[in-house]
Structure 1
């Protein structure tokens, strides 16, 4: 099957030939592997290895430990603090929701609101109250996802940097440092 596909591709005119594949030269993978954050990670690994005099495998392990301690640990502690604040807000939110439900039902009876209109006003005001509590305590739930938004790109950059260092990718000056040991 591969031969047939390759033979068929050879018969295509130059104008109809597909662009570079996603993982091939000029694709998004190569672009990302040559990006500045990946080169910074390569340089950091090379600097760690050069300064500590460690073999490549120990430099990788120490680099991972440094990143986990310097970046991930503080963000995880911040996330835990935010989640604890959110959990501490729950009883207050529950009390305010009960009081709001009563006030909306009384106001709805006075103005002759339908159940749908009363429900709309209840939800709208409850969202406003909860947002005010998040602002007061500076603990919006989206802030608890900061760890993921930092850790995933960091993991991708370090993985690509390790790939560049191990295969001697084009533009990777670090390859010579890792071949020595």
Structure 2
């Protein structure tokens, strides 16, 4: 069983015998990859993995699996439930939007005939007013479709941070070492 411990950094020899570092992967010292690998979020994820492994006394493969399960349960599951409720609200709004669109189409056609609007002008007013009505419905029911993408906007950075933390742990970056 191997454990991650703080101490001297582990270096991995590259093709020419030089140690591979984060700076080498980013194309030079101080690159965006190095900045990301040393960021606070990645350090937090790394310390969380090390702390979980130390507290549980599990081998690393089990600590990684438990960490993934913990993140999925604590972060992803509630966000997925929220996304499901939001999508259900949006789906329930569709019949109401359809009725309002039909009524608006009739009102715009009547108004267009009274004002002498062309088809293009009538279509513009219909779309503008339908957009306003739909926005009011989203506000009323607190279910804007962009909120349904929250899960993706949380999962991607979380995945990147945990992946970088695992990379830091495995190659000894950030002062980590694999025994």
TM-superposed CA distance for 1:21, in Å, is 7.3
Work out whether residues 23 and 30 of structure 1, in 8 Å CA contact, stay in contact via their aligned partners in 2: no
| 2:135 alignment counterpart | 131
Cα RMSD of the aligned pairs, angstroms, is 1.3
Whether the 8 Å CA contact 2:83–2:148 is kept in 1: the answer is yes
Q: When the two structures are aligned, how many residues end up with a matched partner?
A: 156
1:53 matched to 2:57? The reply is yes
User: Normalized per residue, which structure has more strand?
Assistant: 2
Match of 1:122?
126
Which residue of 156, 160, 168 corresponds with 1:156? 160
Residue 38 of structure 1 contacts residue 161 of structure 1 at CA under 8 Å; is this kept in 2? yes
Q: Could you tell me the TM-score, scaled by structure 1's length?
A: 0.83
User: Which has a greater percent of helix?
Assistant: 1
Structure number with greater CO (CA < 8 Å, separation at least 6) is 2
1:77 maps to 2:87: no
- SS at 1:90 equivalent: helix
Contact 2:25–2:33 at 8 Å: present in 1 too? no
Match of 1:110 in 2: 114
Q: Which runs of 5+ in 2 are unaligned?
A: 1-23
> 1 CA distance for matches of 2:76 and 2:28?
32
CA distance in 1, matches of 2:88, 2:167: 39
Equivalence for 2:146: 142
